Amino acid sequence: MASSGILVVGGGLAGLRAAIACHDQGASVRVLTKVYAIRSHSGAAQGGVNAALRNHPEGADDSPERHAFDTIKGSDYLADQDAVQTMTHEAPLRIRELEAWGCPFSRFEDGRIAQRPFGGAGFPRTCYATDRTGHVMLHTLYEQCVKRGIEFVNEWQLLALARTPERVVGAVALSRLTGALRALPADAVILCTGGYGRIYGRSTNAIINTGSGMGIAYRSGVPLEDMEFVQFHPTSLVGTNLLMTEGCRGEGGYLRNKRGDRFMYDYVGMERPELAPRDIVARAIEHEITEGRGFDGGYVHLDLTHLGEEQIKSRLPGIRELCLQFAGIDPIKQPIPIQPGQHYSMGGIDVDPDCSCPYLPGLYAAGEAACISVHGANRLGGNSLLETIVFGKIAGDSAVEYCAGLGHDPSALRALTDELDWQGRRVDNMLSASGEQNAGRIRLHLKQIMIEKVGVFRDEPALKEALLGIRVLRSRFNDIRLTYRGLKYNLDLCRALELEHKLELAETIALGALHRAESRGGHHRVDYPERDDDQWLRHTLAWREEDGSARLDSKPVTITRYQPEARTY
């Protein structure tokens, strides 16, 4: 075995679970992360994590197979069914493992892990810890890393992968604290860098969610898969767009328009229509607003007042706190003003079900940065936390297996030093650039373009305008000037380096959306409102060309058991 060990990039749930897997298999592993692990966006997850545990009487006949079917149907049949089966069958194991590691899940009276309705199942399948599920999971995994003595390289930002023509040999990173650059040799790199939410205006995501890991893989010659599929969460708090978890509706919350009507009955014939899949609820809300049945300022109400003080305080304490602090509203007494917001990146780095990238040996990805693809065109609530712990472990196991068969590569050192030099020049050029453009303004424009033209509803003219706008911003980026040119904690520099990736990712999203002339899951084309399985039951791949432009390609969907059916709601 070669000896550089495994580098995990990202300290969120996927990264921590991958690092634990590597360590437990006896490999040498370290975690590089641009923020301290427990500040990762995983810690903001509220509602819960799915597993067919059958702990609730209404879910007594639940099974991993039913979970798989719901996930595939929810994905509008774009998910790869072999990967989904792996995820749902591993789910109970990974939840019980967390339980054994001391994760403080909420419990039923009899002591078993509590489950609530969430994520399109229609009955309680989602395990939770009040409305702070991601927080407790992240701390539990972090404790396990500390216990194992896993090394963390904190506040270092990945800038690039180092590769030979054959494989990955390491990475180059920048210290946010000192501005120093460092080459990190590695036999395998596992990218667990999360989603790109902040490309969009009105996002529920943390500011750190820039998608740079995807952008870095893309620049290394790896395609991105299904980038046009972006999830808009129906209920984000007006103003800050903080997430108001689907758990609010799982607990029995209503959506009401300005007339006070529970309008979801007009859109889906379900007993609890507020629990329809997210893409459908988000479109219904946008429709109410454009038809003039929303409130001035573009929102509707999420009404929890009928749930009562006791239920809100015990099941949704974090939501109440966010409403009180950020909107001055007490949901026990007042409805919450909400609107759809960008929430999740269904697309990402194209990897196989064992999390290996088929185009670049030694590269692995898991979590929101990856497209495995278990969510297809639309992710069910509670399946993303699950994806991180199931595929984080699989990525770690696969990387260890790969490294075991690896010999010494004499060209590795050269590739690393070349990349280090290249990134050094990139950073120097950015620091000394004396252009006319301000990176912050470019970032703001990008967010506007994406939410206005590549949002919940899409059509050809708007998508063409978006592409044009993004390309203009890309050329403006070549003429930037940083406001701060020092090396210490230069967030202006760190964010500008990431903006370069954001612009390229935005182009893959808009281009994919323009080409996909159908509506499926989170991708809704008003000019092509139907799903078209004959033409479009396939994944989109976006490759980066030499000149920096995106080229689209496609690959088939893996269908093992469930043939596509029309939506029944």
Ligand X SMILES: Cc1cc2nc3c(=O)[nH]c(=O)nc-3n(C[C@H](O)[C@H](O)[C@H](O)COP(=O)(O)OP(=O)(O)OC[C@H]3O[C@@H](n4cnc5c(N)ncnc54)[C@H](O)[C@@H]3O)c2cc1C
* Residues near ligand X, by CB under 6 A: 9-15, 32-35, 37, 40-42, 44-49, 133-134, 157-158, 192-195, 204-205, 208-209, 212-213, 243, 245, 344, 367-369, 381-385, 388
Single out the catalytic residue among 163, 249, 458, 516. Answer: 249
CA 381 to chain centre: 12
Nearer to ligand X, 138 or 289 (CB): 138
Q: Per DSSP, what are the bridge partners of residue 342?
A: 203, 232
User: Nearest-5° angle of CA 220, CA 423, CA 479?
Assistant: 95
Instruction: State the Rg of the chain over Cα.
Output: 23
Rounded Cα–Cα distance for residues 421 and 406 (Å): 26
**What residues are paired with 256 via a beta bridge?**
301
Largest CA distance in the chain: 71
Whether the CA torsion 484, 490, 493, 499 is positive or negative: it is: negative
The secondary structure of residue 30, as a DSSP letter, is E
Residue 250 DSSP code: H
- Residues contacting 495, CB < 8 A, separation 6+: 210, 439, 443
Which helix (H) or strand (E) element contains residue 384? Answer: helix 383-404
The CA distance from 493 to 558, in Å, is 42
Residue where the block lists tokens 């927080």: 135
CA distance 367 to 417: 29
CB of 436 to ligand X, least distance (A): 27
User: Catalytic site residue 320?
Assistant: no
Strand order in the sheet with 363-365: 151-154, 29-33, 6-9, 188-191, 363-365
The answer to whether the beta carbons of residues 138 and 37 sit under 8 Å apart is: yes
Residues comprising the chain, all counted: 569
In sequence order, the 6+-apart residues with CB closer than 8 A to the CB of 31 are 8, 9, 10, 11, 15, 16, 19, 37, 145, 150, 151, 152, 153
Residue type, 265: Y
* Rounded to 5°, angle at Cα 193 from 93 and 397: 40
Helix (H) or strand (E) holding 174: strand 168-175
Bond prior to 398 in cis (omega within 30° of 0): no
- In the chain, the N- to C-terminal Cα span, in Å, equals 54
Cα torsion angle, 508, 514, 518, 523, sign: positive
Report the run of H or E that residue 183 belongs to, with start and end. Answer: strand 181-185
Residue identified by tokens 């390609």 is 553
Residue 508 has what DSSP assignment?
Answer: H
- Active site (annotated) includes residue 262: no
Phi-psi region of 350 (alpha: psi -120 to 50; beta: other; left: phi over 0): beta
Q: Which entry of 125, 198, 233, 520 is annotated as an active-site residue?
A: 233
Catalytic annotation, residues: 233, 249
